A and B are shown apart, each in its own frame.
Chain A
Amino acid sequence: MVRSDQVTKTDTETQSPFIFRDGVIQTLLDLRVYRLAAIQKSAYRFAEQFTAVFDSPKEERLPIRCIFAPTVTEQDALETLRLFFQELLDQELREQVGDETRALRALIVAQAFSRTDLIRQD
């Protein structure tokens, strides 16, 4: 989660809390709010829109630089980042589901194939 004291208003008149400068948006993600796996999966999914470069976490905050292609406008970059944060929420939910159901999925697969023989014996 981005806290209001971690970002400044943009140079432009937009209401976005992010700064788009030289094709890059930098921000900090709170690892107490988003799991690293969720952040990495979101960045992977958005690889066509921007390249995410992570630095070492500092005090549970992960610095991330989102590097856009030279042709991307500020407006498009900010909209992409908005969608990225939505994706982060989705990925966080997926991690939650994964944590809760991983063992059950293994059990279902084991149960499914417990009485079958995928290789014919004849």
Chain B
Amino acid sequence: MFHDRARYQSTQGYQLAPVRFSRLDAARYVVTNDAGEYVVLSRQELVDFIGHSLPPDRPTYQALKSRHFLFDAHSRVALELLALKYRTRAEQLANFTGLHIFVVTLRCDHSCAYCQVSRQAEGRLEFDMSQEHADRALDFMFRSPSPALKIEFQGGEPLLHFERIRYIIERAKAMNAVHGRALQFVIASNLSRLTDEVLDFCRVHGVLLSTSLDGPEDLHNAQRPVRGGDSHRRTLDAIQRARQALGPDGVSALMTTTHASMERVEDIIDEYVRQGFRSIFLRNLSPYGFAVRQRASRQYGVEAWVEFYKRGLAHILRINAQGYPLQEEFAAILLQKIFSPRGSTYVDLQSPAGIGIGALVYNYDGAVYASDEGRMLAEMGDFSFRLGHLSRDSYESIMTSETLLAHLSDTMPEGAPMCSDCAFLPYCGADPVFHQATKKDAVGHKAFSAFCKKQMGVLRHLIGLLEDDAQARDILMGWR
């Protein structure tokens, strides 16, 4: 027997669940809860909802109830469900530090104006990582509880010190016979030294390559100067050889947005399509290393970058609509945070921050940093995120150091002014290194924060697309 719908309607009002809300645009609000679910309401709906005057027969009431924004007499298990979802999102905290970055050398054969790591000349071998430090770093890595460990080789140009890479991978695999973790290896390289020997090693050991492709030939070569002026040709040749040796997904590429890129986002994306890539990460320039020494005319503001990003995303959605699947990685990370019960493991958008517990960096000189950006900041003379040294400190002393713990607790968005009541909090994170670099304060006043403006700008745009553009929504939902 079926009862009339009225029988299930609340007659005793409802209880608000903890929610946060922010303006989506002039007429609408995004409302979220701690489990990361969201609804979009008009101002009147929001006022009615908070004022307990939303009629139970409204679709909005049902939407809010089904996503645990309100409890009524019929939602008996809602609190338990909300707690379960919240716990699921936080679960990955227990498996901390999945990413371990080994800076095997600071030497590089390129002289990119936007270099964020303050590279050194090719002949300066004193900027190479020693075997002793590599051994110690591997010991640290296997102390991390994470069941999956990714080793990423960074530089400089890491292939200039390939022997150390070979040693670390072989030793990690030998050690893992005891530890039994899921190991993954990535070399972040400009690929200029990609020999057949390197490729063969990568194929045998399942090593992935990540390179830089800044766009079409003229733009890439202007931004990434190398002797001969042919970085673009060399990169494409190397990508081709890497694909032949490692398979089509064996090599990925990243771009960096400079002032010269700002008017050319479509050209950059088209170049990725031309070269057969299925994904692109539209990244802004970070305020570290040589990047901050550029003349003011070559910098750009965050508002300009957000416009660049919106144009780029529109072009990518058009390309998808025409039948070529191309994913924008920043949007994919945010969509994962919006729709996946577990959120995303992307280190730069975590709460608490991903420093130390998301990634550890072992520098060429044995210093241990809480993030890649932390070591970049140190190259500029600010050692705020230096946790210790491989030769002098234990794993315990580094992971419980006041430097790390204070930064983690001080910068948690849940307790930060403006962040604590922001609807986008479940999809955002803390970036203490960025705020330290730009404001000399790891928390940062968010009203002045380019990080906050970027996150809000992109999230508003994404949610707007999900709400208003059915075709875009279909494509974006495939990226989660």
Interface residues of A, Cβ cutoff 8 Å to B: 41, 44-48, 90-91, 93-94, 96-98, 100-102, 104-105, 107-109, 111-113, 116-120
- CB pair B83 A44 closer than 8 Å: no
- CB pair B17 A90 closer than 8 Å: no
Determine how close the nearest CB of chain B comes to the CB of A106; give it in whole angstroms: 9
Residues of B19-47 whose CB lies within 8 A of A: 19-21, 23, 34, 46-47
Stretch at the interface among B84-92, B295-303, B465-473: B84-92
Asked if A48 meets B87 with Cβ closer than 8 Å, knowing A101-B18, A108-B18, A120-B145, the reply is: no
- CB pair B18 A104 closer than 8 Å: yes
Residue B321 CB within 8 A of the other chain: no
Partner of B17, one of A45, A101, A119: A101
Residue B79 CB within 8 A of the other chain: yes
Interface size class for chain B?
20 to 34
* Best-buried of A102, A109, A117 by chain B (most CB within 10 Å): A109
- CB pair B448 A47 closer than 8 Å: yes
- CB pair B19 A111 closer than 8 Å: no
Considering the chains assembled together, what is the distance between the CA atoms of A112 and B90 in angstroms? 9
Determine how close the nearest CB of chain B comes to the CB of A105; give it in whole angstroms: 4
B229: A residues at CB distance < 8 A: none
Residue B397 CB within 8 A of the other chain: no
- CB pair A119 B447 closer than 8 Å: no
- CB pair B447 A48 closer than 8 Å: yes
Considering the chains assembled together, what is the distance between the CA atoms of A91 and B21 in angstroms? 10
B20: A residues at CB distance < 8 A: 94
Interface residues of B, Cβ cutoff 8 Å to A: 15-21, 23, 34, 46-47, 50, 79-80, 82-84, 86-87, 90-91, 93-94, 145, 417-418, 421, 445, 447-448
Determine how close the nearest CB of chain B comes to the CB of A119; give it in whole angstroms: 7
- CB pair B83 A93 closer than 8 Å: no
**CB-nearest residue of chain A to B46:** A93
Determine how close the nearest CB of chain A comes to the CB of B436; give it in whole angstroms: 19
- CB pair A108 B34 closer than 8 Å: yes
Asked if A101 meets B16 with Cβ closer than 8 Å, knowing A44-B417, A93-B50, the reply is: yes
Asked if A45 meets B447 with Cβ closer than 8 Å, knowing A112-B84, A118-B93, the reply is: yes
Considering the chains assembled together, what is the distance between the CA atoms of A104 and B33 in angstroms? 12
- CB pair A97 B18 closer than 8 Å: yes
B445: A residues at CB distance < 8 A: 44, 47
Determine how close the nearest CB of chain B comes to the CB of A13; give it in whole angstroms: 25
A104: B residues at CB distance < 8 A: 15-18, 79
Considering the chains assembled together, what is the distance between the CA atoms of A93 and B417 in angstroms? 17
Could you write out 7 A-B pairs with CB less than 8 Å apart?
A41-B421, A47-B448, A93-B47, A97-B19, A104-B18, A111-B83, A112-B87
Determine how close the nearest CB of chain B comes to the CB of A20; give it in whole angstroms: 21
- CB pair B47 A109 closer than 8 Å: no
- CB pair A44 B418 closer than 8 Å: yes
**CB-nearest residue of chain B to A96:** B50
- CB pair B80 A111 closer than 8 Å: yes
A98: B residues at CB distance < 8 A: 421
- CB pair B79 A108 closer than 8 Å: yes
Q: A47-B447, A109-B34, A112-B90 are in contact. List 6 more A-B contacts (CB 8 A).
A: A41-B417, A44-B418, A45-B418, A91-B421, A101-B17, A107-B79
- CB pair B83 A112 closer than 8 Å: yes
- CB pair B94 A108 closer than 8 Å: no
A100: B residues at CB distance < 8 A: 16
Considering the chains assembled together, what is the distance between the CA atoms of A91 and B84 in angstroms? 29
Asked if A105 meets B18 with Cβ closer than 8 Å, knowing A47-B445, A112-B84, A118-B93, the reply is: yes
**CB-nearest residue of chain A to B91:** A116
A113: B residues at CB distance < 8 A: 87, 90
A44: B residues at CB distance < 8 A: 417-418, 445, 447
- CB pair B94 A120 closer than 8 Å: yes
- CB pair B50 A97 closer than 8 Å: yes
B82: A residues at CB distance < 8 A: 108
A111: B residues at CB distance < 8 A: 79-80, 83
A94: B residues at CB distance < 8 A: 20-21, 421
Determine how close the nearest CB of chain B comes to the CB of A114; give it in whole angstroms: 8
Determine how close the nearest CB of chain A comes to the CB of B261; give it in whole angstroms: 26
Considering the chains assembled together, what is the distance between the CA atoms of A47 and B418 in angstroms? 11
B91: A residues at CB distance < 8 A: 116
Q: Which 9 A-B pairs have the closest CB atoms?
A: A111-B83, A105-B18, A112-B87, A112-B83, A101-B18, A47-B447, A112-B86, A48-B447, A108-B83
